[in-house]
Chain A
Amino acid sequence: MARRDERAARIGSHLVQAGFLLAVLILWYLATNRWGVNRLLLPNPISVWHQLLDVLRTGEYLPDLRVTLTELAVAFVLAMTSGTIVGYFVSRSRYAIRVFDPLFAGIYSIPIILFLPLYVLFFGLGPASKIALGTTISFFPIVLSTIAGFGNVDRIFVTAARSMGASDYRLFRYVLVPAALPVILTGLRMGFTVALLSIIGSETIASLAGLGHHIVELAEGMDMPRMFAYIAFVVVIAALLNGIVSFLEARGRRRG
């Protein structure tokens, strides 16, 4: 009986979700086709769909996608390398943790996007300023989680390994890394997400190329159906990238 109720409730909530999405689509369609909402404010869903197919078919997104992905890859690798190395060395001493952990956490609480104008001044409008901003923003979650991961390894594991004669390398490889990995992986995922957002964001604000830049170009050309289609495309790309990273995180966690 209880199980039957539960199943009915689950089906019911899925129905509500599907109904919600359907209602949004129908309202969108009616608003543009029947109620005469200005096409410049809200394009017709059908023309957006055609534009989306066109964007995918022509492959015009490839140069921008390449720029954004390159920026993202460089920024994330820089942040990952510097964040884990700095975090590891800080975590080696309780005292260093007490000195530097609040410092990093304090800077992390400032909206770092504020520094974008400075980065544009230093590095210009090209990819370098986006890479610098993405690296800065994703450095902090990574370094903080690395400090937390290595800093909270249970002392007894270290003592036990030492007393069984583990070398420095073996202690690092077989005790510290497996114990710290889950926390570090979470930090890496967060760092990846904020790097992606900040890179698309800084492309939107000031840039010459990239996915964010293209959205702005379409917006300035008042090409609404294509802009909506392109936004949908970028959202899907972002969701795919985040999905891949979450998958890798879950896998690394199971292995670790």
Chain B
Amino acid sequence: MNAPVRHFLPRHPGVVRLGAVILILIAWEIAARWFIDPLFISPPSRVFASLGTVWQTNGVPAALRLTFFELAVAFAISVVIGLVVGLAVGLQPFARRSMMPIILLLYGLPQITILPIFILYFGIGAASKIAFGATHGTFPIIITVVAGVQNLKPILLTSARSMGASRWHILRWVIFPHMIPSFFAGMRLGMTGVLLGVLLAELYVSTAGIGHFTTLFTENFDPTKLFGLIAMLAAMAIALNEIVRRAETRFGRWR
């Protein structure tokens, strides 16, 4: 290795990381082109080239929009319910002690087992995906909001009260600012849950969402389109995760 490279690489692990990813893609390309049945795997170059055709497949843009809509609504519901329940339970010591074990118990249940019940109650359309995503997203938000309220120093409440702050003032100026970091941490966990819930329900049964097309492409042995669609969804998931993570680092450290 010559001198500039020797000095450059140790300071830029990202370059080596990119190199590792490219190596994997090359290995995949070689394997898919010459060694594996094209019914099952498609080389990355062809997947990349096919992204346009996947997008033009009748119904795919609408399906991606529908899935995005389901994710957004489920996330909004999770945040609202998580915040309200989290505050209601967290601010009252008695409520916290009596309700938290129940909430933790419900959170610990494997929700995937009740997915057929959700389909039964909410139908095979968007409503069941939203509901299933919301139940996955709500619990982590409740738990982090409760933890955030719990970590509030009692002295802050006492001093605010002794200076004559009203309930609303305490909520607005003491409790809210102090729970912002944990609230954003909860939103990040909630987003992970919502993605999991909505995608599970989509893959389980779907008439117009992306689950419909993954099934279609799998049954037609069309791996190129399947890889392309999954790549688009992964990009959507990464973008959503990244937005929430950025918000967390941006607003999470105000102190």
Contacts and interface: CB of A to CB of B under 8 A. Distances in A.
A42 B73 CA distance: 26
B116 A219 contact: yes
A121 B40 contact: yes
B112 interface: yes
A103 interface: yes
A169 interface: no
B112 A98 contact: no
A67 interface: no
A95 B10 contact: yes
Nearest to B193: A111
Interface residues of A, number: 49
Given A41-B120, A239-B108, A20 B200 contact: no
B1 interface: no
Contacts of A234: 110, 113
Interface string B105-139: 00011101111110111000000000000000000
Given A200-B110, A205-B200, A235-B109, A117 B215 contact: yes
Contacts of A179: none
Contacts of A239: 108-109
Contacts of B164: none
B114 A103 contact: no
A183 interface: no
A14 B100 CA distance: 11
A151 B226 CA distance: 38
Interface in B62-111: 93-94, 97-99, 101-102, 108-110
A200 B230 contact: no
Interface string A193-224: 00011001100111000001001101100000
A227 to B, nearest CB: 7
B214 A117 contact: yes
B195 A111 contact: yes
Given A17-B101, A122-B41, A114 B199 contact: yes
Interface in A1-58: 9-10, 12-14, 16-17, 20-21, 40-41
B110 A117 contact: no
Interface in B209-239: 214-215, 217-218, 221, 223, 226-227, 230, 233-234, 237-238
Nearest to B217: A117
A115 interface: yes
B13 interface: yes
A99 B16 contact: yes
Given A113-B200, A216-B116, A103 B21 contact: yes
Interface string A84-104: 000000000001001110110
A14 B227 CA distance: 51
A218 to B, nearest CB: 8
B157 interface: no
B204 A238 contact: no
A164 interface: no
A83 to B, nearest CB: 17
Contacts of B233: 114
B238 A201 contact: no
B180 interface: no
A109 interface: yes
B144 interface: no
Interface of A: 9-10, 12-14, 16-17, 20-21, 40-41, 95, 98-100, 102-103, 106, 109-111, 113-118, 120-122, 196-197, 200-201, 204-206, 212, 215-216, 218-219, 227, 231, 234-235, 238-239, 242
Interface of B: 10, 13, 16-17, 20-21, 40-41, 93-94, 97-99, 101-102, 108-110, 112-117, 119-121, 192, 195-196, 199-200, 203-204, 214-215, 217-218, 221, 223, 226-227, 230, 233-234, 237-238, 241
26 contacts: A9-B94, A9-B97, A12-B98, A16-B99, A17-B102, A21-B102, A41-B121, A95-B13, A100-B20, A109-B241, A111-B196, A113-B196, A115-B230, A117-B214, A196-B110, A200-B113, A204-B204, A205-B203, A212-B113, A227-B116, A231-B113, A231-B117, A234-B113, A238-B113, A239-B108, A242-B108
Given A17-B101, A216-B116, 13 more contacts: A17-B98, A95-B13, A100-B17, A111-B199, A113-B203, A114-B199, A117-B215, A117-B217, A118-B226, A118-B230, A196-B110, A206-B203, A212-B113
